[in-house]
Amino acid sequence: MPSSILHVVPRDGGAPVALPVVDLPLPPQWPAIARAKGYEIAARVRDHQHLALRCTRCDTVNLSRVFTLRTAQPLCPNCLLTARAGAAAGAGAEFRRRDPEDTRYAFYGLPCGHEVRRQFGRIARAALRATGLRCDTCQARRLGKEAGRWGWSLHGPDPEGEPRYRLYAHAAGGCGHVQRIARTNMISGRFNCASCGEGWASAGSAIYLMHFDLPDVGPVVKLGFSRNPVSRLDHQLRGQRDLTATLLRVVPMASGRLALCTERRMHAELRATYPEAVVPPAAYDGIIRVGSEVYDAGLQPVIEAMLDRVAAQHL
């Protein structure tokens, strides 16, 4: 008999499943219990322990245990999904799917395009505070870039668990030593290698201008600073092997500190004067490994003229 089958959403959500209606009497107090908890009883299904409940908020028919209805608040999987998607949106993310391995976790899409696995509770807190979710991939890329400018690389999390610190390696032409450094010091260059003694005061640096031909975007230039622009081009910036990239210009600077300050001043001037020439990071994400500071190649003569002035000042 066709009427003996009901389509019911399983308790943990997903597509409705066809369940047999069980021909058992409905105890007279059950409809009132269900109404008080936001449901109507659609039918008894599957066996004597289960019910199909219709959610009065969203009309979804879902499966519940009789025991749960009598002793607790049954959760409507559709309303739960709506609430989770809403919380994710509040945290600036997109709810993708639950983690089948662990009911406390789900996968979320971030505005940068990456996907993260987070606890539901953490998303709810992030939505309340409107803080957004941090992307581990983008964060590691940022930290690696900050370190690369001084000839170091990100090695891993701080073994002492201090969130402001990381382990960095004096790689890419350095001595290979690994040590803890506060991230703020890595950004400003205020640290010395405990093994070879090289630091921002002693080590020379350089401002560079690179040219890239990006597929689908066109020619762009990147202005930055590094202890070793050639190795930076080869190992750190070039995300794809066949990318056409050229080092256009290198202006040596007496110290990393000077290079940092000069580079920042140039970017501030370029952003203020030519805001339309700043290439949005989404255009080169995954192609060149940099966070920002990429400009339309039309700006190349302007930047070269600025570099001429910088070079003349620091002869």
Contacting residues toward Zn ion, per CB under 5 A: 55, 57-58, 60, 76, 78-79, 112, 114, 135, 137-138, 170, 174-175, 177, 193, 195-196
Provide the H-helix boundaries in the chain. 30-36, 66-71, 77-90, 120-129, 136-148, 183-188, 229-231, 256-273, 300-313
Residue 92 φ then ψ, to 5°: 75, 20
Q: Which of 3, 32, 35, 6 is nearest to 18 (CA)?
A: 6
Helices (H) and strands (E) in the chain, counts: 9, 15
Closer CB to Zn ion, residue 94 or residue 296? 94
Shortest reach from residue 70's CB to Zn ion, in Å: 19
Residue closer to Zn ion, measured from CB, 90 or 281:
281
Nearest-angstrom CA–CA distance, 253 and 306: 15
The nearer residue to Zn ion, 20 or 111, going by C-beta atoms, is 111
Nearer to Zn ion, 19 or 55 (CB): 55
Smallest separation (angstroms) from Zn ion to the CB of 18: 20
In terms of CB distance, is 135 or 223 closer to Zn ion?
A: 135
The CB density around residue 83, as the number of other CB atoms within 10 Å, is 15
Cβ neighbour number for residue 209 with a 10 Å cutoff: 21
Q: Quote the Cα angle for 225-229-231, to 5°.
A: 135
Report the nearest approach of Zn ion to the CB of residue 297 (Å): 26
Q: How far is the CB of 38 from Zn ion (least distance, A)?
A: 8
CA 135 to chain centre: 2
Query: Shortest Cβ distance from residue 85 to Zn ion (Å)?
Result: 13
Q: How far is the CB of 229 from Zn ion (least distance, A)?
A: 19
Select 257 or 314, whichever has its Cβ closest to Zn ion.
257
Per the CB < 8 A criterion, the answer to whether 247 and 230 are in contact is yes
